[in-house]
């Protein structure tokens, strides 16, 4: 009691202590932001060429640029990280070369005639495709008079950084492009590669000539294959692989019956409602606004709808993975095509629709007072497809136009003007003529219910996955249990990097990212199984559609992978290589017809083949074969060549001499131009490869 009294008398001390404790908690939380794989001792997400990428700044920019965005959070963070990396690299290179963007140049890039691609893309009017100058000028005025809101000011400051980075990068690209030169010998060689066309006959002996059981593979075979393909498999950072077992959550027959019964219970109310639209909206259905012929309906509905009276409901019926009921709201025999003419004033927002409404009212008044519809359409209509023809559309089939236009086209009175609003803007429409041919059509409303697993079903699969997990705590035990089950399978991911957010066929997102975090957790050991099953959510219906038990299969340091870590991935290639060597030994002689007979094949021909051909009709993608052919003399026969899909023996039948390369300056210009177009993409890749980048994002996300 004495202690409580003391605290009451010194409440300021209590507040101070609590405040310090909260501050310490917040600081601790910030310095371990998002950490799953080890202690984060600072807010540095990484370093690029000595420049620290701060988590607070990164997070602030992400929130500012992507607030309310539905884009994948990991994809956008990856894109934003690339911006920070490139901005730091470009800034360092520009400083070393003395490149800069002056204040006047920056203003011109934002508001002048030479607008930056950043401005063009961000302020593009979706309707016109042009820059929304009015909005841009509004921002400029607010910046100049100081009325710009704080959050907009921060946005504009970051945007200026983006513009400067883009401009400096463009200057770097231009410098490199201008420095490219193609020497004469390379021009002549390129000319020969592009103009010389050869022809050859060939016999293909497919790898399937040898059964897989006849080939035994050793670690040396795998090692030799990796040594011959270093460029493909060499990695610059650590990778890890996981094996996983998926427990799919599927609806049961009882789940399906629940949804069928729910829809059946709606039928009486659906048939008796006085307002189909409200009833359908309240039950998450749709009213189809178009007139549909039987042929426009799904096959499962064509006969049923034809036999259903107006006002009645058919169903429930199964359509894909859902039950549906359909109500026939109207039925008419309508013309198959119609002639109309119209005047359109484009609109896309409330303000422009108000302007368009007023214009159409004025035009309508002029026409009703004796004005010429055709001339007014030619001068005022913003529909480029019909304006030149006086606004006329002839013999338009049903459902060619939007529903609002279609209704006037099919049921409007001849000689009467109709003002109609559509997604394009405001129309003034006059029906002119309809075909004598008619077809019975209906308007329908649909209410559907996807068949999804119930909570009980999801929980049952969750229990199954967790039971499996609790009994199998190593990868070996997991694999043995799967082999005994007869229904489960073990799947393997590709090489996963620390910041990846996609795993095998599980797709991408936060669920997959959790598995990557498990793989890189310092407490995870090779052969160990995850502590819990990972749940994956259906992106549309938002229920748990699978549970995944994962195991860390391997850890591969930067460099060439160990044979054991990559054996499953390359086994098919190594086996084909061994088959190719075996088939080479079986091929005898140099007569193509005899070889074809030996392997029950045929002699085929390839013509007009260029050196840089990536695909040849009948041959496929076989660069080794093409390279060998270009190194042969006419009528020469090759030794057996191991290709991508078999062993080939070829006979060169035609190899015209390459003519003299005339107009070397123009050819040089063309060759240099081709190289210059690749600078924009490849220069940044090269600079990134040579830059010092320390990426610590996985400690935060």
pLDDT digits (tens, 9 = 90+) for 242-252: 999 999 999 99
Q: What is the 3-state secondary structure (H, E, C) of 57-123?
A: HHHHHHHHHHCCCCCCHHHHHHHHHHHHHHHHHHHHHHHHHCCCCCHHHHHHHHHCCCCCHHHHHHC
Q: How confident is the model at residue 42 (pLDDT cuts 50, 70, 90)?
A: low
Count Cβ atoms within 10 A of the Cβ of residue 291 and give its class: 0-12 exposed, 13-18 middle, 19 or more buried: buried
Rounded CA-CA distance 331/444 in Å is 9
State residue 11's pLDDT score.
36
The dihedrals phi and psi of 581, each to the nearest 5 degrees, come to -65, -40
Has residue 25 got a pLDDT over 70? no
Q: Which residue is listed with tokens 């997400």? A: 45
Taking the C-alpha atoms of 575, 576, 581 and 585 in order, what is their torsion angle to the nearest 10 degrees? 110
For residue 162, give the nearest of 75, 103, 90, 66 by alpha carbon. Answer: 90
Task: Pick the more confident residue, 242 or 673.
Answer: 242
Q: What is the pLDDT of residue 404?
A: 94
pLDDT at 195: 87
How large is the average pLDDT for residues 281-306? 93
Instruction: Locate 369 and state its tokens.
Output: 């007072």
SS3 336: coil
Dihedrals φ, ψ of 305, to 5°? Answer: -70, -40
Q: Are 589 and 606 in contact (CB under 8 A)?
A: no
Q: Mean pLDDT across the chain, nearest whole number?
A: 90
For the four alpha carbons of 74, 78, 83 and 89, in that order, the dihedral sign comes to: positive
Please tell me the distance from the alpha carbon of residue 54 to that of residue 551, in angstroms, as a whole number. Answer: 33
Handedness of CA 471, 475, 477, 483 (dihedral sign): positive
pLDDT digits (tens, 9 = 90+) for 180-231: 898 999 988 888 888 899 999 999 999 999 999 999 999 999 999 999 999 8
What does the pLDDT read at residue 23? 38
Say what the pTM is.
0.72
> Left (φ > 0), alpha (ψ -120 to 50) or beta: where does 217 sit?
beta
User: Which residue is listed with tokens 């090759």?
Assistant: 638
Which pLDDT belongs to residue 12? 35
Q: Is 225 exposed, middle or buried (0-12, 13-18, 19+ CB in 10 A)?
A: buried
Those residues with Cβ within 8 angstroms of residue 115's Cβ, 6 or more apart along the chain or in another chain? 109, 131
Using pLDDT thresholds of 50, 70 and 90, give the confidence band for residue 27: very low
User: Is the Cα torsion angle 648, 649, 654, 660 positive or negative in sign?
Assistant: positive
Work out the average pLDDT over 317-325.
Answer: 94
Residue that is written with structure tokens 């991508």 in the block = 644
Per the structure block, which two tokens stand in for 46? 């990484």
The H or E element that residue 200 is part of is: strand 198-206
How far is residue 341's CA from residue 380's CA, in Å, rounded to a whole number? 13
Token pair 């992400």 is found at 62
C-alpha radius of gyration, the chain, whole number: 35
> Is residue 9 scored above 80 in pLDDT?
no
Contact 336, 437 (CB under 8 A): yes
End-to-end CA distance of the chain, in Å?
Answer: 48
Q: What is the mean pLDDT of residues 306-335?
A: 95
> Looking at residue 190, what is its pLDDT?
86
How buried is 327 (Cβ within 10 angstroms: 0-12 exposed, 13-18 middle, 19+ buried)?
buried
User: Contact, 191 vs 661, CB < 8 A?
Assistant: yes
Structure letter (DSSP) for residue 626:
H
Give dist(CA 522, CA 242) in Å, integer.
Answer: 15
């Amino acid at each position: 009691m004495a202690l409580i009294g003391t605290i009451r008398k010194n409440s300021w001390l209590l507040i101070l202590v609590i405040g310090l404790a909260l501050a310490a908690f917040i600081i601790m939380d910030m310095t371990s932001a998002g950490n799953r794989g080890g202690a984060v001792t600072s807010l540095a997400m990484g370093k690029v060429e000595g420049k620290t990428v701060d988590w607070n700044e990164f997070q602030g920019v992400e929130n500012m640029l992507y607030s309310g965005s539905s884009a994948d959070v990991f994809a956008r963070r990856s894109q934003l990280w690339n911006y920070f990396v490139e901005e730091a690299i470009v800034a360092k290179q520009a400083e070393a070369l003395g490149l800069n963007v002056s204040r006047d140049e920056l203003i011109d890039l934002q508001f002048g005639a030479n607008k930056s691609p950043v401005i063009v893309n961000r302020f593009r009017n979706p309707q016109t495709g042009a820059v929304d100058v009015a909005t841009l000028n509004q921002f400029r005025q607010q910046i100049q008079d100081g009325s710009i809101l704080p959050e907009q000011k921060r946005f504009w400051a970051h945007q200026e950084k983006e513009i400067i980075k883009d401009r400096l990068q463009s200057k770097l690209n231009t410098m490199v492009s201008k420095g490219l030169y193609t020497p004469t010998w390379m021009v002549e060689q390129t000319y020969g590669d592009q103009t010389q066309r050869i022809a050859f006959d060939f016999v293909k002996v497919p790898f399937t000539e040898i059964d897989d059981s006849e080939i035994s593979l050793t670690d040396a075979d795998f090692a030799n294959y990796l040594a011959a393909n270093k460029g493909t498999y060499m990695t610059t950072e650590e990778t890890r692989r996981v094996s996983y077992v998926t427990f799919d959550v599927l609806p049961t027959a009882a789940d399906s019956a629940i949804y069928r019964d729910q829809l059946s219970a709606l039928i009486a109310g659906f048939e008796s409602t006085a307002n189909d639209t409200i009833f359908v909206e309240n039950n998450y259905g749709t009213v189809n606004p178009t007139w549909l012929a039987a042929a426009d309906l799904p096959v499962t509905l064509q006969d049923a709808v034809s036999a259903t009276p107006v006002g009645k409901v058919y169903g429930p019926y199964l359509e894909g993975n859902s039950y549906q009921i359909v109500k026939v709201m109207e039925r008419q025999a309508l013309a198959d095509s119609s002639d109309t003419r119209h005047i359109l004033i484009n609109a896309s927002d409330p303000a422009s629709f108000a302007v368009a409404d007023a214009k159409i009212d004025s035009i309508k008044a002029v026409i009703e007072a004796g004005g010429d519809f055709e001339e007014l359409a030619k001068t005022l209509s913003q529909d480029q497809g019909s304006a030149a023809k006086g606004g006329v559309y002839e013999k338009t089939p049903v459902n060619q136009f939007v529903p609002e236009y279609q209704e006037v086209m099919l049921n409007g009175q001849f000689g009467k003007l109709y003002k109609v609003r559509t997604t394009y803007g405001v129309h003034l429409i006059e029906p002119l003529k309809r075909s004598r041919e008619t077809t019975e059509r209906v308007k329908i409303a649909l209410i559907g219910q996807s068949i999804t697993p119930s909570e009980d079903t999801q929980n049952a699969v969750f229990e199954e996955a967790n039971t499996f997990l609790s009994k199998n705590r190593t990868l070996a035990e997991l694999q043995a249990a799967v082999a005994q089950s007869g229904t489960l399978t073990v799947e393997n991911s590709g090489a996963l990097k620390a910041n990846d957010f996609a795993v095998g066929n599980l797709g991408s997102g936060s669920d997959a990212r959790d598995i990557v975090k498990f793989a890189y957790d310092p407490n995870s050991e090779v052969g160990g199984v995850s502590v819990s099953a990972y749940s994956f959510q259906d992106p549309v219906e938002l229920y748990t559609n699978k549970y995944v038990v994962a195991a860390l299969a391997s850890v591969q340091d930067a460099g060439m992978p160990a044979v054991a870590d990559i054996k499953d991935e390359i086994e098919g290639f190594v086996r084909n290589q061994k088959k190719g060597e075996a088939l080479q030994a079986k091929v005898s002689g140099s007569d193509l017809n005899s070889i074809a007979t030996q392997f029950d094949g045929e002699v085929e021909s390839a013509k007009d083949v260029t050196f840089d051909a990536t695909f040849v009709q009948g041959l496929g993608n076989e660069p080794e074969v093409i390279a060998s052919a270009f190194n042969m003399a006419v009528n020469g026969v090759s030794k057996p060549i191991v290709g991508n899909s078999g062993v080939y023996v070829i006979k060169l039948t035609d190899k015209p001499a390459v003519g003299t390369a005339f107009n070397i300056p123009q050819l040089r210009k063309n060759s240099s131009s081709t190289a210059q177009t690749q600078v924009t993409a490849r220069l940044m890749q090269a600079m990134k490869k040579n830059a010092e980048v320390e990426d610590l994002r996985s400690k935060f996300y």
